[in-house]
Amino acid sequence: MKLGAGLGRGAQLSVSVVSNRTPGLLRQCLGCLERERADIDLDVTIVDNASGDELAETVADHFPWLRLICNDRNLGFVPARIRPCD
């Protein structure tokens, strides 16, 4: 099923992804979302729980249309707090 199926053209969708040391999976997820951007008004936020990899640079370079929040330690999935990347 296509991501926007049944939502109609111009539909709005807000997606939040919490990530920790899964850059390949995150790139795959964001690639899928990027392909749907023409049909859906997307608001995407990525919360990185101190992965220690080049996540911020990868996101900034390849996905400048989304918001990235960086935590300075792994807070887990549920309590991930919002703090803008430096």
Q: Tokens for 62?
A: 């390849």
Q: What totals of helices (H) and strands (E) does the chain contain, helices first? A: 2, 3
- Position 30 pLDDT exceeds 90: yes
Q: At what angle do helices 55-62 and 23-36 cross, to 10 degrees?
A: 20
- For the segment 8-36, the average pLDDT, to the nearest whole number, is 85
Q: What is the pLDDT of residue 8?
A: 56
Per mean pLDDT, which range of 29-33, 50-54, 58-62, 75-79 is the poorest? 75-79
- Position 32 pLDDT exceeds 90: yes
Between 45 and 57, the higher pLDDT residue:
45
How far apart are alpha carbons 7 and 4 in whole angstroms? 5
- For the segment 20-25, the average pLDDT, to the nearest whole number, is 86
